[in-house]
Amino acid sequence: MANKIIKKEKLAENIFRFVLDAPQIAKNSKPGQFVIIRINETGERIPLTIAGADKKRGNISIISMTVGKTTMVLEGLSKGDFIEDLLGPLGKKSDIEKFGNVICVGGGVGIAPLLPITQALKNAGNNVISVIGAKSSKLLILEKEMSLASSEIYTCTDDGSKGYKGFVTGKLQEIILEKTGENQDFKIDRAIAIGPSVMMKAICEVTGKFNIKTIVSLNSTMIDGTGMCGTCRVEVGKETKFACVDGPEFDGSLVNFDLLISRQNYFREEEISAIEHFRKEHPDVRCKLES
């Protein structure tokens, strides 16, 4: 039955993958697109990227990090439960073609939406170099899947518990310098970056120095997914765009990241208040709010 959870899997602390029965969405979804879910009649609408689609079986995968009230409720669901509303696929699909050498960079739960894009780029004949990172090895997700979708893969952890010790930006710059150094006939034709806004901003600063076109996926707050509410508005090329209908992918060099980061903190107090209220009503449920 549509919207039924047919599998739930814990990928890391506070990060879960849900496989949902959604034949129409699976049939029509493309890499880069997302769904809007509403768990129950009184719940809010939240966007989650389609992290995988099995058109034959009619299911899609979504990956959620438990950071707020709605994701707390989602974490509490089990196999056999239902999502009240599931709308999609929404947003524009990723630009997939044979570019040549492509670097895909994912940070934290941003690796989830990066996976289907990486798979599609490899299937299109690209040489895909992936760089994925997390705070620690315990929070690193989808490493095996990303490895299969890449020609080369590099892992990074802030604490050095696996792979390169440091941020993905440091490893990215190291790779670019190594592969495109003097007397080397190697050109990086495109970069894809998905993760926290501060990470994507830093990635664009690195790739900008080497004139590498970089596409980012903006995970700004969305509500209706149609551009009507205006909460997901972003400034791209000094023009106002709506991430849900004009994106979610944009040329990173044109994005006003400072404004985006500022806007993402607008409802911080309300989010904290909602979590505190939910905790009082459900003391057995825990949630780690991102700092």
| pLDDT tens string 171-183 | 999 999 999 876 6
Tokens of 49: 């990227």
pLDDT above 80: residue 70: yes
Of 63-72, 166-175, 261-270, minimum mean pLDDT range: 261-270
Residue 287: what pLDDT? 44
Residue 46: what pLDDT? 87
Residue 213: what pLDDT? 97
CA distances from 3 to 63, 134, 236 (A): 15, 30, 34
Q: CATH homologous superfamily for 5-90?
A: Translation factors (2.40.30.10)
pLDDT above 60: residue 99: yes
From the centroid of its chain, how far is CA 40? 24
For CATH 3.40.50.80, list the domain ranges present in the chain: 101-217
Can you tell me the distance from the alpha carbon of 207 to that of 101, in angstroms, rounded to the nearest whole number? Answer: 14
pLDDT-derived band at 266, boundaries 50, 70, 90: low
Residue 229: what pLDDT? 73
The residue among 264 and 159 whose pLDDT is bigger is: 159
For CATH 2.40.30.10, list the domain ranges present in the chain: 5-90
101-217 is classed CATH 3.40.50.80: yes
Residues composing the chain: 291
Q: Could you report the per-residue pLDDT of 13-30, keeping only the tens digit for each?
A: 899 999 999 999 999 999
Q: Which of 40-44, 166-170, 282-286 has the highest mean pLDDT?
A: 166-170
The residue to which tokens 């500022």 are assigned? 262
The residue among 183 and 263 whose pLDDT is bigger is: 263
Can you tell me the distance from the alpha carbon of 222 to that of 244, in angstroms, rounded to the nearest whole number? Answer: 7
Residue 291: what pLDDT? 34
Average pLDDT for residues 217-224, to the nearest whole number?
72
Average pLDDT, the chain: 89
Q: Could you report the per-residue pLDDT of 229-239, keeping only the tens digit for each?
A: 777 888 999 99
Average pLDDT for residues 151-166, to the nearest whole number?
96
Report the alpha-carbon angle 165-9-284, nearest 5: 95
Task: Count other C-beta atoms under 10 Å from residue 219's C-beta.
Answer: 24
Of 143, 18, 158, 139, the closest CA to residue 75 belongs to 18
The residue among 14 and 221 whose pLDDT is bigger is: 14
From the centroid of its chain, how far is CA 212? 21
pLDDT-derived band at 272, boundaries 50, 70, 90: low
Say which residues have a Cβ less than 8 Å from residue 285's Cβ, sequence separation at least 6. Answer: 72, 75, 76, 278, 279
Average pLDDT for residues 127-147, to the nearest whole number?
96
